[in-house]
Chain A
Amino acid sequence: MDTALQYNQAARRASADADSENPMLEERAYPEETIGEPLVDNPKMSIRNVDVFYDRDQAINNVSLDIGRNEVVALIGPSGCGKTTFLRALNRMNDIIDTCRIRGELRLDDEDIYGSAMDVVELRARVGMVFQKPNPFPKSIYENVAYGPRLHGMAEKRHELDDVVESSLRKAGLWDEVKDRLQQSGTGLSGGQQQRLCIARSIAVNPEVVLMDEPCSALDPIATVKIEELIAELSQSYTIVIVTHSMQQAARVSHRTAYFHLGHLIEMNETNKIFTAPDHRLTEDYITGRFG
């Protein structure tokens, strides 16, 4: 028999053993209601009893939580637990997936996000998004940042646009690095710079909420530190929801943390409380590194 084949089989057996010990696959008792304090007074966004389905598969199961004003909320949980799905529901990015259906109530400042009065273009201008992989447009740095303001007619004249581009790049901490090469392609920047460019792009339209989907997962530690500092700074003027796989990152940047497990919101609390004294066993298992 081929040696390679033997090795493969051994590896497969080993992973099968690991699976049977993986608590994720075990049926655990989910709490009836989310543990902790998912709700706050006078929230920026309020989400009530939300279910999200892909065809027949339920990705999000009866989630209710609030996102406070100028608050950084971190969403953590093992892969496939629905963090990203939930995040994308907040600015209707799931609309582009044909099979995705959503049920429940999502409000931004008391306006129904999925209501007929809400225009999806306006919603996305108010709730910006930064993606996992840096995705600048293959245009110049200037054009990247100017795209949103131009799209929404926020800056008509050239000098207005120049101002917006400069202030956005300054806020994203990128101005000094790129001010001499604004006409160069945004794709020529390093990964961390690209991600900050994407952040500058999304804050150029002056959104109320910024959604970040694992913004540092494709970056090295130094670039990560820069982005985290940026998040802390941005939280003074924006409300931020961040999905992250790094528990240290959640602990560093967020005010409150929500723990998702297989589509359920298990626990949500002050970040300190979650990481020092979690109330639910699943949360504890996850943050102590038993699985995830």
Chain B
Amino acid sequence: MATDRNEQAGASRLRRGLQKRYRRERRFRGYGLTAIMLGLIALLVLFGDIIGKGLPAFQQTHIQLEISWDREVLGINQVSEAELKQANFDALIKQALRERFPGVDARRQQHQLFKLVSSEAGYNLRERLQTDPELLGSTETVALVANSTVDMYMKSDAEARADDRQITEVQRQWINELRDSGELGFGLNTSFFTQGDSRNAEQAGMLGALVGSFYTMVVTLLLSFPIGVAAAIYLEEFAPKNRLTEIIEVNINNLAAVPSIIFGLLGLAVFINFFGLPRSVPLVGGLVLTLMALPTIIISARSAIKAVPPSIREAALGMGASRMQVVLHHVLPLALPGMLTGTIIAMAQALGETAPLLMIGMVAFIADVPQGFTDSATVLPVQVYLWSNTPEESYVALTSAAIMVLLAFLIGMNTLAVVLRKKLEQRW
């Protein structure tokens, strides 16, 4: 009888406990869901804001003008390197504008008229003539890039237009006239993808930063992957387990947490001041980012090696393979997916790194697209930083557009990491 009662009491207590347990489980799941929702909302707001601001930067206002490639106005007889240098392309544009608006005589008004077109539009004409010398002497309609003030005016709504102080009253009339006749319209912002940085927002592009990032990443990848993997293999497979290797391990983990600007200072002191490498070049940027990426790569490569089951190593050793052969034939192929994933994540980190590059001078204004590893260059995140610091309003959209390009690259790299891992993964 006594045991019966005990059993009943135990069962009801168990039931009560169960309910409590389930409640706790539901609450815990709730916390998790809330956390994820918060994260997603933050991400959506961020993306929405950036895309909303950045999308307009991909199109740009163009003015259709009747350009007559007049030898006299240009001041040249034929298309040659030497003559093109002296050719006055701005005069072509001025003449075209004057012909479009014949009534504008006052000097001051003419000046305002010429300011409708980008001050660098002459370069575009020059490139056009260079690729197609036949044009000389003919007349055609060319879409010229409008000045960023016009661009901003066109992209803003009616209310903002009324407030726009960058555009004078007479310019406003011209713009309206051109727009109504269809001569003023939007086109793809090609200079954003084909040119380097510029002081004129309508001509500023990120190709320079893109190429700079590419060269920097090439240096980083070529150095950090082999060094990181070799270090990881040595530490995991060959190094004796003693105090010294323990200290090395702790310090590698510490290095992964060192603020990146410190690596920049190190790069400045060692690579530039001591070894005398040039400033602001992808080579030094790559070296500094290598230092940053190494701890991440070593740590991920080590854990990938650790994940290879010891039974595989034993089997190979039992077959008479040397340690080196065990590593090359078995450990490395099995650990490679993990190593690659870690490397790509480290690369993505390095791609987004700004602080250390500021220290080695990659923050300069560089209009030319770099041609090699030792040309002055800037990189994507630094370009974002530079543009966001510019007071001109027209750079706001450019900044967001540059962030979009950077994000696209990061997402691309991380996708590649996932695909590689899925593809190379072997089960045992």
Using a CB–CB cutoff of 8 Å, the interface residues on chain A facing chain B are 3, 91, 93, 96, 98, 120-125, 128-129, 131, 133, 135-138, 147-148, 151-152, 187, 198, 201-202, 205
A-B contact pairs, 19 of them (CB 8 A): A3-B10, A91-B318, A93-B317, A98-B241, A121-B320, A128-B318, A131-B311, A131-B315, A133-B311, A135-B314, A135-B315, A137-B312, A137-B316, A138-B426, A147-B329, A148-B319, A148-B320, A198-B315, A201-B319
Let me know if A152 and B334 touch, CB within 8 A.
no
When chains A and B are docked, how far (Å) is the Cα of A147 from the Cα of B317? Answer: 12
When chains A and B are docked, how far (Å) is the Cα of A122 from the Cα of B322? Answer: 10
B36 within 8 A of A: no
B85 within 8 A of A: no
**In the complex, per-residue mask of B289-330: 1 if CB is within 8 Å of any chain A CB, else 0:** 000000000000000000001011111111111100100011
Which one of A122, A131, A137, A138 lies within 8 Å of B320 (CB-CB)? A122
B222 within 8 A of A: no
Measured CB to CB, the nearest residue on chain B to A119 is: B320
Measured CB to CB, the nearest residue on chain A to B313 is: A96
- Residues of chain A within 8 A (CB-CB) of B329 are 147
Which one of B316, B321, B427 lies within 8 Å of A187 (CB-CB)? B427
Which 7 A-B residue pairs are closest in the complex by CB-CB distance?
A124-B320, A135-B311, A129-B318, A138-B428, A125-B320, A135-B315, A121-B320
Let me know if A136 and B315 touch, CB within 8 A.
yes
B206 → chain A closest CB, angstroms = 44
B423 → chain A closest CB, angstroms = 15
Let me know if B311 and A152 touch, CB within 8 A.
no
Given pairs A3-B10, A151-B320, 10 additional interface contacts (CB within 8 A): A121-B321, A122-B320, A123-B320, A128-B318, A131-B314, A135-B309, A135-B314, A136-B315, A148-B319, A187-B427
B188 within 8 A of A: no
B111 → chain A closest CB, angstroms = 75
B240 within 8 A of A: yes
- Residues of chain B within 8 A (CB-CB) of A205 are 319-320
- Residues of chain B within 8 A (CB-CB) of A198 are 315
When chains A and B are docked, how far (Å) is the Cα of A133 from the Cα of B313? Answer: 13
- Residues of chain A within 8 A (CB-CB) of B322 are 121
Which one of A93, A98, A138, A187 lies within 8 Å of B318 (CB-CB)? A93
Let me know if A131 and B318 touch, CB within 8 A.
yes
Let me know if B319 and A138 touch, CB within 8 A.
no
A108 → chain B closest CB, angstroms = 14
**In the complex, per-residue mask of B404-428: 1 if CB is within 8 Å of any chain A CB, else 0:** 0000000000000000000000111
Let me know if B317 and A3 touch, CB within 8 A.
no
B14 → chain A closest CB, angstroms = 7
- Residues of chain B within 8 A (CB-CB) of A131 are 311, 314-315, 318
Measured CB to CB, the nearest residue on chain B to A186 is: B428
Let me know if B314 and A93 touch, CB within 8 A.
yes
B321 → chain A closest CB, angstroms = 6
Which one of A3, A124, A133 lies within 8 Å of B319 (CB-CB)? A124
Let me know if B241 and A138 touch, CB within 8 A.
no
When chains A and B are docked, how far (Å) is the Cα of A124 from the Cα of B309? Answer: 21
Let me know if B325 and A137 touch, CB within 8 A.
no
Which one of A121, A138, A202 lies within 8 Å of B312 (CB-CB)? A138
- Residues of chain B within 8 A (CB-CB) of A201 are 315, 319
B373 → chain A closest CB, angstroms = 40
Measured CB to CB, the nearest residue on chain A to B323 is: A96
Let me know if A124 and B312 touch, CB within 8 A.
no
Given contacts A121-B320, A151-B325, A201-B319, contact A187 B428 (CB under 8 A): yes
When chains A and B are docked, how far (Å) is the Cα of A147 from the Cα of B241? Answer: 30
When chains A and B are docked, how far (Å) is the Cα of A131 from the Cα of B317? Answer: 12
- Residues of chain A within 8 A (CB-CB) of B313 are 96
Let me know if A135 and B312 touch, CB within 8 A.
yes
When chains A and B are docked, how far (Å) is the Cα of A202 from the Cα of B160? Answer: 82
Measured CB to CB, the nearest residue on chain B to A152 is: B320
- Residues of chain A within 8 A (CB-CB) of B317 are 93, 96, 124
